[in-house]
Amino acid sequence: MAGYAEFEENEADVAQARTYKLTTISKALAAEIEAFKARRTQVICRHRHGKAVQSTTVMSDVGQLLRMLGWVKSHRDRSDDEGDPPPLTMKGVVGSAQFGLYVEQYVEWLQARPREVKFSSIANYTNSLVSLLTYVMGDEDYEVTGESGFTIYEQLCNIRRQAHSAASIDRMYRRRDPNWLEWPQCQEVRMDCIEKYERAKGAPVKKLKLLRDVVVLCAFTCLPPDRYVTADPKA
């Protein structure tokens, strides 16, 4: 499966996420979180695909778990539900046969006004949700279920892929800094600076400043910048 990179955090989205995050953690949920941390960070673990991850990645996943549970508790529309709401635990929500539906509804809620959360943030959230589901699927009691030919895991992967695609499109059309230069323009600036340096006369200090500008421009414009690599932070 292709890797999915983390997008840069949006400060407004981060601030908003604090407003609905679950703050009261039950003993059952606390125990689940500790077990999740241990499995994700343990260097050698036979119950995990891939290498151990950094504690910052695990805490990001835990943060998203608490946001998801907070939304389920206080904001999810239960008018069409039958029976009691799921317990606010990893097993109760992430392990639910309705988890794909929950995530789809959660993303729709994030996108709606007045929240209008960026797709870059939503893409990051889905990275964590897939990791949480992968962990829960390792439980012996987990039952693989699906809908319309897609398992819950496949549903989550679909949502993640779509969120990342939307985030990439948003980045293409976002408003650029007024000082932004395209690559050909960068070449023109470098050549203009070289020409000014070669024609410069007068005080050595002035020519030295132009030489410094030439060196800096050459350092940044003689080779194209590295392309953005999408490495899987959850590997």
Q: What is the model's pLDDT at position 184? A: 84
- For 67-83, the DSSP string reads HHHHHHHHT---TT--S
Q: Report the chain's C-alpha Rg in angstroms.
A: 24
| Reported pTM | 0.72
Same structural domain for residues 168 and 191?
no
In a domain, 229, yes or no: no
How many Cα atoms are found within 13 Å in the side-chain-facing hemisphere of 65?
29
Tokens of 235: 């590997």
* 156 and 194 both lie in a single domain: no
User: Cis omega before residue 225 (within 30°)?
Assistant: no
For residue 126, CA distances in Å to 103, 104, 158 come to 8, 10, 10
pLDDT of residue 70: 97
In a domain, 6, yes or no: no
Map residue 147 onto helix, strand or coil.
strand
pLDDT per residue as tens, the chain (235 positions): 456 878 888 899 999 999 999 999 999 999 999 999 999 999 999 988 889 999 999 999 999 999 999 999 999 999 988 889 999 999 999 999 999 999 999 999 999 989 999 999 999 999 999 999 999 999 989 999 999 999 999 999 999 999 999 998 887 656 666 777 777 888 889 899 999 888 888 888 888 888 999 999 888 888 766 544 444 444 3
CB hemisphere CA count around 104 (13 angstroms): 12
One domain for residues 94 and 196 = no
Q: For position 174, what pLDDT does the model report?
A: 61
Residue span of the structural domain in which 91 resides: 11-173
The tokens 């992430």 sit on which residue? 94
pLDDT at res. 69: 98
Within a domain: 235: no
Q: How far apart are CA 154 and CA 129, in angstroms?
A: 12
The total of structural domains in the chain comes to 2
Q: Mapped to the 3 state alphabet, what secondary structure does 1-41 carry?
A: CCCCCCCCCCHHHHHHHCCCCCCCCCHHHHHHHHHHHHHHH
* Residues 152, 206 within the same domain: no
Which one-letter amino acid corresponds to residue 73? Answer: K
Taken as a whole, the chain contains a residue count of: 235
